[in-house]
Amino acid sequence: MAAQIWGSEKRARRRREISAKIAQMPELHDSKPLPFMTREEKIMESARKLTILTEKMGQIIDPTDPAELYHLNNEVLGLEGNPMALHGVMFIPALSAQASDEQQAKWLPRALRREIIGTYAQTELGHGTNLQNLETTATYDLATQEFVLHTPQITALKWWPGNLGKSSNYAVVVAHMIIKAKNYGPHPFMVQLRDEKTHEPLPGITIGDIGPKMAYNIVDNGFLGFNKYRIPRTNLLMRHTKVEADGTYIKPPHAKINYSAMVHVRAYMLTGQAIMLASALNIATRYSSVRRQGQIDKSQPEVKVLEYQTQQHRLFPSIARAYAFQFAGAETVKLYEHVLKEMKSGNVSLMADLHALTSGLKSVVTYQTGEGIEQARMACGGHGYSMASYISEIYGVAIGGCTYEGENMVMLLQLARYLVKSAALVKSGQSSKLGPLVAYLGVKSEPTSLIDRIPNSGFTEYVKTFQHVSKRQTLKAADMFFGLMEKGEKREIAWNKCSVELNRASRLHTRLFIVEAFVRRVNEIADIRIKEALTDLLHLHVNYELLDIASYALEDGFLSASQLDYIRDQVYLYLGKIRPNAVSLLDSWEFSDIELRSVLGRRDGNVYENLFKWAKSSPLNKTDVLSSVTQYLKPMMEKARL
């Protein structure tokens, strides 16, 4: 099963080898539980481990393999980030995709050797979503052949970029490029921020940390202002766009090609979300098979809480989602790598499809991951609320994904633009022009669903039902939009008035893609036992998801009430079938105790003893009487007693 999850036997084996090596290297372990550290201590601890990794990484992993890097990162540095998180996740990808060969030769080897630390600085205090209204300017000075970076007012301060505040000395900065008074829109520039020897901010740069956040507190998200700060013309990233010495602008082959670093993260973050969901579920499911509370049959001893159907219903559909996200994520990464290769050689025809797909997936996956992790926390009762479970930290980190790389509603609306264009093709009789991901929009469906009507139909009737609801909602939302425009509404006003319906269409389309990716994967599996276990999970997935969106299929009679009862019964049936495999389905992800950082989710199940040990190690317990008591509470009580 681990081979299915991680992509191959080799990958699963490599993960085990890496975890085993890390287990033998105490210098790479947390020196104490992260929840007992202050933010400064955590940052220090993370930087300490990062420098050891820089020295020893080659002994543990193949540093050119992103999957191995990611695993090493999760084990050693953990989910809460590190002082170089953005360096690997966005700075290097931005240089790789957007810098010319010559620029790459100059900067990439230095970045890869970690001579310099970089980040991606785009969002500002006043604008994150609406990139066209970013306010930082890069004005070309023909006389000196330099760009002058400037922050015209407080809302133009860069705000949020990870590791910008304290760790990075370089950044890819996105600014509006102005040449001879003409604004060419946002473009990426390579900018040195700090002196390479002293690490002091360079003159003309204001920089710092934006303060503590809901989670991710090892990352120094920062602010950045420029006061007429000059950089050479050749620091504009020039793989696709060029500015010649005389100010001539050579436009890129696609207007949004400079957005590739964002698409990179949107594509890669899906499996990251799956890992966080599976981690939280692993903790909650293991604990649920240790925790005994109450009886189902009063004549029997107390049961493991995992025996309760409500507990299974809380956890198991999310187990199915974690697998589904992992499989859909793996497909998306492959597609992204393919499109990136094509883009580099000038073929930009697949960018719109990739953008639409990753926008929808990013939104649905992060939202459902958040839901699943929070349910996992609640499923652990009181101990889930303790930082000893570590689930709240996983939740805080995962939920950030709903906002970064494009706020979820906004990204769903991006997919909706693509769906509406596709609907227009269907309506004008040009269904043959639909891309493969939306081809179903042009296919006539049966009048009613055949779920429970055709024996042994596998998952086909389920997929058709998801296609039906997705198609119907897309065409309905598009009709609403076109109808408003026909009545004379301006395009943008009409769009806003339909946006809730449009986003519903985007979610349904994305959920269909996730179901299909799960079906595709299960169909590929040769090993009978693995196929059986995953088929059970897929049964739970399709029935649970369909029940969740049933109103769309009920309202036009595509599904009947009796079919809905059948679907509900299937959910209960598969909860029971999955129960014996539940812990193994999560143990198969092979998270080590080092990586999980959870007292509740320990592999050995020795929860109570270790919770007590953990509590005793709290800094508050170093002394029996705290100074808050001697200084304030004790005198108060004494005064009251007089």
Ligand X SMILES: CCCCC/C=C\C/C=C\C/C=C\C/C=C\C/C=C\CC/C=C/C(=O)SCCNC(=O)CCNC(=O)[C@H](O)C(C)(C)COP(=O)(O)OP(=O)(O)OC[C@H]1O[C@@H](n2cnc3c(N)ncnc32)[C@H](O)[C@@H]1OP(=O)(O)O
Ligand Y SMILES: Cc1cc2nc3c(=O)[nH]c(=O)nc-3n(C[C@H](O)[C@H](O)[C@H](O)COP(=O)(O)OP(=O)(O)OC[C@H]3O[C@@H](n4cnc5c(N)ncnc54)[C@H](O)[C@@H]3O)c2cc1C
**Out of 33, 63, 66, 128, which residue is the one contacting ligand Y (CB under 6 A)?**
128
**Is 595 one of the binding residues for ligand X (CB under 6 A)?**
no
Neighbours of 139 (CB within 10 A): 18
Q: Which is nearer to ligand X, 267 or 515 (CB)?
A: 267
Q: Which residues contact 538 (CB under 8 A, 6 or more apart)?
A: 320, 459, 518, 519, 522
**483 belongs to an annotated ligand binding site:** no
Q: Which residues contact 197 (CB under 8 A, 6 or more apart)?
A: none
**Is 372 one of the binding residues for ligand Y (CB under 6 A)?**
no
**Is 417 one of the binding residues for ligand X (CB under 6 A)?**
yes
**Out of 83, 222, 272, 317, which residue is the one contacting ligand X (CB under 6 A)?**
272
CA distance 416 to 478: 9
Q: Which is nearer to ligand Y, 409 or 463 (CB)?
A: 409
**Out of 44, 290, 335, 352, which residue is the one contacting ligand X (CB under 6 A)?**
352
**Is 471 one of the binding residues for ligand X (CB under 6 A)?**
no
Tell which residue, 425, 429, 416, has the closest CA to residue 510: 416
The one segment of 94-102, 298-306, 404-412, 618-626 that binds ligand X by CB under 6 A? 404-412
Cα–chain-centroid distance for residue 86? 14
**Is 129 one of the binding residues for ligand Y (CB under 6 A)?**
yes
**123 belongs to an annotated ligand binding site:** yes
CA distance 401 to 206: 28
The closest residue (CB) to ligand Y is 128
**Is 355 one of the binding residues for ligand X (CB under 6 A)?**
yes
User: Please, are residues 389 and 600 in contact by the beta-carbon 8 Å criterion?
Assistant: yes
User: Please, are residues 328 and 269 in contact by the beta-carbon 8 Å criterion?
Assistant: no
The secondary element (H helix, E strand) that includes residue 186 is strand 182-192
Angle at 175 between CA 171 and CA 181, to 5 degrees: 145
**Out of 216, 226, 395, 544, which residue is the one contacting ligand Y (CB under 6 A)?**
216
Tell which residue, 7, 16, 98, 3, has the closest CA to residue 594: 16
**Is 210 one of the binding residues for ligand Y (CB under 6 A)?**
no
Told to judge if 124 belongs to the known catalytic residues of this protein, a careful annotator would answer: no
User: Please, are residues 326 and 335 in contact by the beta-carbon 8 Å criterion?
Assistant: no
Q: Please give the full DSSP string across 206-234, using - where no structure is assigned.
A: EEEE----SS-TTS--EEEEESSEEEEGG
Taking the complex as a whole, how short is the minimal distance between the CB of residue 266 and ligand X, in angstroms? 8
Name the 3-class secondary structure at 177.
strand
**Is 121 one of the binding residues for ligand Y (CB under 6 A)?**
yes
CA distance 85 to 81: 6
User: Please, are residues 272 and 320 in contact by the beta-carbon 8 Å criterion?
Assistant: no
User: Please, are residues 226 and 204 in contact by the beta-carbon 8 Å criterion?
Assistant: yes
CA distance 342 to 339: 5
Q: Which is nearer to ligand X, 260 or 465 (CB)?
A: 260
The one segment of 406-414, 469-477, 500-508, 577-585 that binds ligand X by CB under 6 A? 406-414
**Is 234 one of the binding residues for ligand Y (CB under 6 A)?**
no
Q: Which is nearer to ligand X, 413 or 475 (CB)?
A: 413
CA distance 237 to 107: 11
Chosen from ligand X, ligand Y, none, partner binding at 121 (C-beta under 5 to 8 Å by type):
ligand Y
Out of 45, 124, 393, 405, which one is annotated catalytic? 405
Q: Residue 291 has which token pair?
A: 């925790």
The one segment of 154-162, 326-334, 359-367, 449-457 that binds ligand Y by CB under 6 A? 154-162
**Is 617 one of the binding residues for ligand X (CB under 6 A)?**
no
**Is 226 one of the binding residues for ligand Y (CB under 6 A)?**
no
**Is 332 one of the binding residues for ligand X (CB under 6 A)?**
no
Q: Which is nearer to ligand X, 128 or 435 (CB)?
A: 128
User: Please, are residues 529 and 1 in contact by the beta-carbon 8 Å criterion?
Assistant: no
The one segment of 117-125, 138-146, 447-455, 469-477 that binds ligand Y by CB under 6 A? 117-125
Site for ligand Y in 393-452 (CB under 6 A): 400, 403-404, 406-407, 409-410, 413
Beta bridge partners of residue 173, listed in sequence order: 121, 189
Tell which residue, 479, 474, 466, 480, has the closest CA to residue 550: 466
**Is 89 one of the binding residues for ligand X (CB under 6 A)?**
yes
Handedness of CA 65, 71, 73, 75 (dihedral sign): negative
CA distance 19 to 313: 32
Taking the complex as a whole, how short is the minimal distance between the CB of residue 175 and ligand Y, in angstroms? 12
**Out of 82, 98, 103, 123, which residue is the one contacting ligand Y (CB under 6 A)?**
123
**Out of 97, 156, 284, 351, which residue is the one contacting ligand X (CB under 6 A)?**
351
Annotated catalytic residues are: 405
Q: What does the binding site for ligand Y look like in residue numbers (CB under 6 A)? A: 86, 120-123, 127-129, 160-162, 216, 221, 400, 403-404, 406-407, 409-410, 413
Binding-site residues sit at 123, 162
Known binding residues for FAD are 123, 162
Binding site for ligand X (CB under 6 A): 66, 69-70, 73, 84-85, 88-90, 120, 122-123, 128-132, 162, 256, 259, 262-263, 265, 268-269, 272, 351-352, 355, 404-406, 410, 414, 417
